Amino acid sequence: VRVVREALGNCVRHANGAVVEVTIGPADGAASVAVRSRGGAPTATAGQGGDGWGLQMLRERITALGGTFRAGPEPDGWLVEARLPVEVRA
């Protein structure tokens, strides 16, 4: 939930009106969440990068739990993606 909230907040702050796709589901023994944005109008804060703490704190939390995290530009937009290992109990 926190990953989606941070990514959507960044879309509003930096690319208002962007088309956003949120994907949540299983992926190779992990829980996966990806937020992709495309287009949108640059806002007054676009390109300023903010304080950078939101994505950095997510990265630290996800990796502390044994997961992977990446965030960055794609050819047509921006991607925030996290994967957390899932323990299967019988």
Average pLDDT over residues 5-24: 89
Instruction: For 32-82, write each residue's pLDDT tens digit.
Output: 999 999 987 766 554 555 566 888 999 999 999 999 999 998 888 899 999
Q: In this structure, which amino acid lies at residue 72?
A: G
Please say whether the beta carbons of 15 and 43 come within 8 A: yes
Average pLDDT over residues 17-31: 91
38/45 Cα distance (integer angstroms):
17
Count CB neighbours of 70 within 10 A.
13
CATH 3.30.565.10 correct for 2-85: yes
Phi-psi region of 76 (alpha: psi -120 to 50; beta: other; left: phi over 0): alpha
| Tokens, residue 85 | 């290992």
